Amino acid sequence: MIKKASTHISQNEGTIFERSRPGRVGYRLPALDVDESPIESLIGRDLLRNDDLAGLPEVSEVDVVRHFTRLSTWNYAVDLGMYPLGSCTMKYNPKINERVSRFDGFASAHPYTPDELSQGNLRLIRELEVTLGEITGLPAVSLQPAAGAQGEMSGLMVIRRCLESRGNPRKIVLVPDSAHGTNPASAAICGYDVKTIKSNENGSVDLDNLREVVNQDVAALMLTNPSTLGMFEEHIVEVCQILHEAGGLVYMDGANMNALVGVTRPGDMGVDVIHLNLHKTFSTPHGGGGPGSGPICVTSELEPYLPFPRIVEETDATGLKTLRLDFNRPMSIGRVRAFHGNYSVLVRALCYILSLGPDGLREATETAVLNANYIAHHLMDDYEIAYHGKPLHEVIFSDKHQQKYGVHTLDIAKRLIDYGFHPMTIYFPLIVHGAIMIEPTESEGREEIDLFIDAMRSIAKEARENPDLVKNAPHNTRISRLDEAAAARKPVLRWIKPNDK
Ligand SMILES: *Cc1c(COP(=O)(O)O)cnc(C)c1O
């Protein structure tokens, strides 16, 4: 018997257009109490359709409600169960954040409201900047970038501007081979040549190799810490020293800050620029492409280059403090996003930070790390662990033990769906062959994690005893194994005209 984390409703559902029946309506209007006049006399013949088909489905109210309610149950969501996507930090989003972000003063504020009438909204931005500066140890913060990748680009533009003002923007950005694909892409967009550096057998930066490649042409190193392998970069202080001695800067990809918040600070390690993913670490919803937020935090030296406008605080003769937007920033890289970024995401993030407080943030980090280590410990006998040593907030296995039965990472991920879980991240990072990347986050309790471990161990057993069961999974879903490439390249987005049937 499969123990399931959740069940999905699995009936088939056509499009709303297929449900259409001529003449069926979902409304009833009162009888006319004026004389009827022909439509042509009201809007003119040239504005009328030639056929009488607007193409709208003709359905009843209950048809509409049931159709969309059923569709909504096909989604897997973090409110439904564990979402162990490694590298994504799919944590639960507390509902208080949603409540607060909908407060009228936040939700209805117009971005063109004059500064003196939007002191509260400016205060929220300022407080989040200060808080994130404290959490990262990098005091100058811009909340404009709308995602991690845009934060990377903005951060590298800041680095470029800084090096330019020192006399030479330089040519190369170093990126470890374990990096997220957005890192080399951002460096390339900022006009740098990307040079890949190899990880050593522990998955961290090889210091000797780094010393060899760092020279006067290197603008920066982009480092993810903990790395995409879930390992803390133990030599981070030396890494920063090596770069700084050669006149380069260190960019830290902070997408994995869920392993560090409240415990240690990148600024104290020597990092110059970091981006955060508020939609990962700071518990604002993500998935489906946004909206996100990827603030950048930099050293005081780099502050003049941050995107404008900046918020400045002024004190008048009576001691009254007011906030104002400062557009006069001659050294700035310019705007990277309209207005103030994705404002409602900022509200949620500050609400999350303030409702947890310093102790709560630290506890969340410790729990996230504990949960990943608990999973690592319990799955180690059944799955090959990719890197030995202590993982932090996520753990990476491979399908090495399962390959001899013809079962691969994709099959394991698909079979997990039958057990009611969203699959983990697969085939990333690229340097682990057949990677199975699991990040439980701090949101999961012991029972849910045990259920997940049971499912994974049960799949390992099935792979040994009945590999075809795993290779043909999923079995309990509406549709079974998709040809994913064809589904992405040739999607069938079907609309059937009612009279074509
Ligand atoms: C998620 C992630 C990114 C990109 O962030 P987006 O907000 O999706 O643009 C970059 N680096 C790492 C390590 C990530 O996990």
Mean pLDDT lowest among 18-32, 139-153, 254-268, 296-310: 18-32
User: How do residues 92-102 score in pLDDT, each as one tens digit?
Assistant: 999 999 999 99
Q: Is 361 in the pocket of ligand 1 (CB under 6 A)?
A: no
**For the chain, what are the domain ranges?**
1-74, 81-93+137-307+360-477
Q: Is 145 in the pocket of ligand 1 (CB under 6 A)?
A: no
Tokens, residue 376: 């690592």
CA dist 422 → 23, 381, 474, 496 (Å): 41, 22, 12, 32
Per-residue pLDDT at 203: 77
- Cα dihedral sign, 313-358-353-306: positive
Average pLDDT over every residue of 316-342: 95
Per-residue pLDDT at 380: 96
| Distant-in-sequence, close-in-space partners of 294: CB < 8 Å, separation ≥ 6 | 145, 146, 147, 148, 149, 150, 151, 152, 275, 276, 277, 278
Q: Is 255 in the pocket of ligand 1 (CB under 6 A)?
A: yes
* Cα 137 to ligand 1 centroid, rounded to whole Å: 21
Cα–Cα nearest to 438, from 408, 397, 390, 385: 397
Residue 151 CA: nearest ligand 1 atom is 9
Full 3-state SS string of 424-473: CEECCCCCCCCEEEECCCCCCCHHHHHHHHHHHHHHHHHHHHCHHHHHCC
What is the rounded CA–CA span in Å between residue 451 and residue 374? 13
* Cα 150 to ligand 1 centroid, rounded to whole Å: 9
Q: Is 225 in the pocket of ligand 1 (CB under 6 A)?
A: no
CATH value of 81-93+137-307+360-477 in 3.30.70.120, 3.40.50.300, 3.40.640.10, 3.40.1190.20: 3.40.640.10
Cα–Cα nearest to 111, from 353, 335, 350: 335
Cβ count near 475 (within 10 Å): 13
Q: What is the DSSP string of 240-291?
A: HHHHHHTT-EEEEEGGGGGGTTTT--HHHHT--EEE--TTTTT-----TT--
Cβ count near 140 (within 10 Å): 20
Check pLDDT > 80 for residue 123.
yes
Which of 143, 153, 180, 281 has the most ligand 1 atoms within 8 A of CB, as the residue to mutate?
Answer: 180
Tokens, residue 159: 């680095």
User: How do residues 330-344 score in pLDDT, each as one tens digit?
Assistant: 999 999 999 999 999
CA Rg value for the chain: 27
* Cα 253 to ligand 1 centroid, rounded to whole Å: 8
Per-residue pLDDT at 188: 97
Q: Is 473 in the pocket of ligand 1 (CB under 6 A)?
A: no
Check pLDDT > 60 for residue 371.
yes
Residue 147 CA: nearest ligand 1 atom is 7
* 386 vs 500 pLDDT, higher one: 386
Q: How confident is the model at residue 389 (pLDDT cuts 50, 70, 90)?
A: confident
Q: How confident is the model at residue 257 (pLDDT cuts 50, 70, 90)?
A: very high
Residue 87 CA: nearest ligand 1 atom is 15
Average pLDDT over every residue of 452-472: 98
Average pLDDT over every residue of 125-148: 98
Q: Is 93 in the pocket of ligand 1 (CB under 6 A)?
A: no
* 453 vs 291 pLDDT, higher one: 453
Check pLDDT > 70 for residue 138.
yes
Helix axes 343-379, 446-465, angle to 10 degrees: 50
Q: Which amino acid residue places its CA nearest to atom 8 of ligand 1?
A: 148
Residue 224 CA: nearest ligand 1 atom is 13
| Distant-in-sequence, close-in-space partners of 482: CB < 8 Å, separation ≥ 6 | none
User: What is the phi/psi pair of residue 372, to 5°?
Assistant: -65, -40
Residue 298's SS3 state is strand
Per-residue pLDDT at 48: 85
Q: Is 78 in the pocket of ligand 1 (CB under 6 A)?
A: no
User: What is the phi/psi pair of residue 499, to 5°?
Assistant: -90, 5
CA dist 415 → 18, 407, 430, 488 (Å): 32, 11, 22, 21
Q: Which amino acid residue places its CA nearest to atom 2 of ligand 1?
A: 255
Which of 277, 392, 396, 431 has the most ligand 1 atoms within 8 A of CB, as the residue to mutate?
Answer: 277
Helix axes 343-379, 119-136, angle to 10 degrees: 30
Q: Is 276 in the pocket of ligand 1 (CB under 6 A)?
A: no
Check pLDDT > 60 for residue 497.
no
Pair 440, 371: CB distance under 8 Å? yes
Q: How confident is the model at residue 501 (pLDDT cuts 50, 70, 90)?
A: very low
In sequence order, what E strands does 260-370 have?
A: 273-275, 296-298, 310-315, 321-326
Q: Which amino acid residue places its CA nearest to atom 5 of ligand 1?
A: 148
Residue with tokens 């009611």: 420
Helix axes 409-418, 446-465, angle to 10 degrees: 120
Residue with tokens 């550096």: 197
What is the rounded CA–CA span in Å between residue 324 and residue 310? 8
Burial (CB count <10 Å: 0-12, 13-18, 19+), residue 94: middle
Cα–Cα nearest to 257, from 215, 221, 226, 218: 226
Mean pLDDT, the chain, integer: 92
Percent of the chain with pLDDT strictly greater than 90: 76
Prediction pTM value: 0.89
Helix boundaries (H) for 77-118: 95-101, 104-107
User: What is the phi/psi pair of residue 364, to 5°?
Assistant: -60, -45
Average pLDDT over every residue of 263-281: 97
Check pLDDT > 90 for residue 76.
no
Measured in whole angstroms, the distance separating CA 277 from the mean position of its chain's CA atoms is 7
Q: Is 307 in the pocket of ligand 1 (CB under 6 A)?
A: no
Tokens, residue 407: 């079962």
Q: Which amino acid residue places its CA nearest to atom 4 of ligand 1?
A: 148
